[in-house]
Amino acid sequence: MSKQEFSRLDVLLRVQSGRLRVAEACVLIGLQRRQVFRLLRGLKQDGAASLLSKHRGKPSNHRLPAELRTLALSIVRERYADFGPTLAAEKLAEHHGCSVSRETLRGWMIADGLWQDRRHRLPSPHQPRRRRDCPGELVQIDGSEHAWFEDRGPPCTLLGFVDDATSRLMQLRFVTSESAFDYFRTTRAYLEEHGKPVTLYSDKHGIFRVNSKDAAGGRDAMGRAARTRHDRRWKQPTGYAPCHSQMTRADRSPLWIRIARLSPSSRSANRAGSSPAWFRGSTANR
């Protein structure tokens, strides 16, 4: 039984028991008195099964002919086997005069094994990173450059520290640019307020690691790559973990997106199409 059929059964049983009047049942079910009495007669004669739809389990009266389905799938199998349903439907209508909606063709192709829906495709090779268990165990750090103050000031960078376990906003600072010294100042403010984190988690910005193979610092006696000032500074008191996936960067986290949506400059800039690319992509996928 569907939810609507269960609701009708409940109303009709209350009418039968005298707890509800027919006029009130008409309002609850949304039918006229004649239809309500018809349902009551069926319930008395055949029980709850009389409320089930008579079309259940039968082919639809609006289904397309089987010949059209066979023709469309044969053309797709022969010429458009590597096409998706949307493009295949366009080619069928344009070159073969076979007009089928893309969703109908999608269902046919899935049933015939020519297409896989999103749920049954191969999983992504990138495993999701689990959140840490305790606050302060891992802190995400990153910066976002944007016109945060609209025309009231020049564009600047917002540095943010986000706790991975709780998604709590730990530290925010507006700076002129994303530099090592500004990260040092923001980190000092974080340490004075919250103490030392176990690990810092960031992207592969040049502030945090040396990305060039021909770096001026070269390699040390142990064959290890040259290290930046921030890297040397932070591997002494705490750990440092660079992010290897673009989707797990701190500026793609829900907290950064929430900050941008709360900012008047980001809301107006997004409507004008001039907001940051990461923010436009996040709002487009809502």
Q: So what's the pLDDT on residue 211?
A: 65
Lowest-pLDDT choice from 131-140, 159-168, 205-214: 205-214
Lowest-pLDDT range, 114-123, 161-170, 180-189? Answer: 114-123
Tell me what pLDDT residue 210 has.
65
- What is the percent of the chain with per-residue pLDDT over 70, rounded to a whole number? 71
Same domain, 45 and 83: no
178 token code pair:
């994303």
- Using the predicted structure, report yes or no on whether residue 278 has a pLDDT greater than 80: no
Q: What is the pLDDT of residue 34?
A: 93
Residue 180 covered by a domain: yes
In a domain, 60, yes or no: no
Residue 106 falls within a domain, yes or no? Answer: yes
In this structure, the answer to whether residues 222 and 182 fall within a common structural domain is yes
The closest of 226, 228, 164, 246 to 198, measured between CA atoms, is 164
Q: How confident is the model at residue 179 (pLDDT cuts 50, 70, 90)?
A: confident
pLDDT of residue 224: 53
**Do 250 and 185 fall into the same domain?**
yes
Residue 108 sits in the same domain as residue 144: no
3-class DSSP assignment, residue 221: coil
For residue 178, the enclosing domain spans 138-284
Instruction: Say yes or no: 93 and 144 in one domain.
Output: no
pLDDT of residue 240: 55
Residue 103 has pLDDT above 90, yes or no: yes
Does 86 map to a domain? yes
97 & 153 share domain: no
Predicted confidence at residue 109, as pLDDT, reads 93
Residues belonging to the chain: 286
Shared domain for 82 and 203, answered yes or no, is no
Q: pLDDT, tens digit, for every residue of 46-88?
A: 888 888 877 777 878 888 898 999 999 999 999 998 899 999 9
Residue 245: band (very low, low, confident or very high) from pLDDT cuts 50, 70, 90: low
Indicate whether 130 belongs to any domain.
Answer: no
HEC string of 163-188? ECCCCCEEEEEEECCCCHHHHHHHHH
Is residue 114 located within the same domain as residue 161?
A: no
Q: Which is higher by pLDDT, 218 or 153?
A: 153
User: What single-letter amino acid sits at 283?
Assistant: T
Count CB-CB contacts under 10 A for residue 275: 22
Confidence tier at 264 by pLDDT (50, 70, 90): low
Q: Counting runs of H as helices and runs of E as strands, what totals does the chain give?
A: 11, 5
Domain count, the chain: 3
Residue with tokens 């040396």: 210
For residue 129, tell me if it sits in a domain: no
pLDDT per residue as tens digits for the range 191-244: 899 988 888 887 777 677 666 666 555 554 344 555 555 555 555 545 555 565
Residues 24 and 90 reside in one and the same domain: no
User: Looking at the structure, do residues 74 and 183 belong to the same domain, yes or no?
Assistant: no
Sign of CA dihedral 266, 267, 269, 275: positive
Query: Pairing between strand 199-202 and 239-242?
Result: parallel
Residues 279 and 269: their CA atoms lie apart, in Å, by 10
SS3 content of the chain, % helix, strand, coil (to 5): 45, 10, 40
Answer yes or no: do 101 and 162 share one domain. Answer: no
Q: How many CA atoms lie within 13 A of 82 on its CB side?
A: 0
Q: Does residue 199 lie in a domain region?
A: yes
In a domain, 29, yes or no: yes
At residue 251 the predicted structure's pLDDT band, cuts being 50, 70 and 90, is: very low
- Asked whether residue 73 falls in the same domain as residue 41, the answer is no
Rounded CA-CA distance 6/154 in Å is: 62
User: Going edge to edge, which strands form the sheet with 169-175?
Assistant: 169-175, 156-163, 138-146, 199-202, 239-242
| CA diameter of the chain | 94
Residue 52 has which token pair? 């089930």
Residues 2-51: tens digit of each pLDDT:
888 888 888 999 998 889 899 999 999 898 999 999 999 988 888 888 88
**For the domain that residue 171 is a member of, what is the CATH number?**
3.30.420
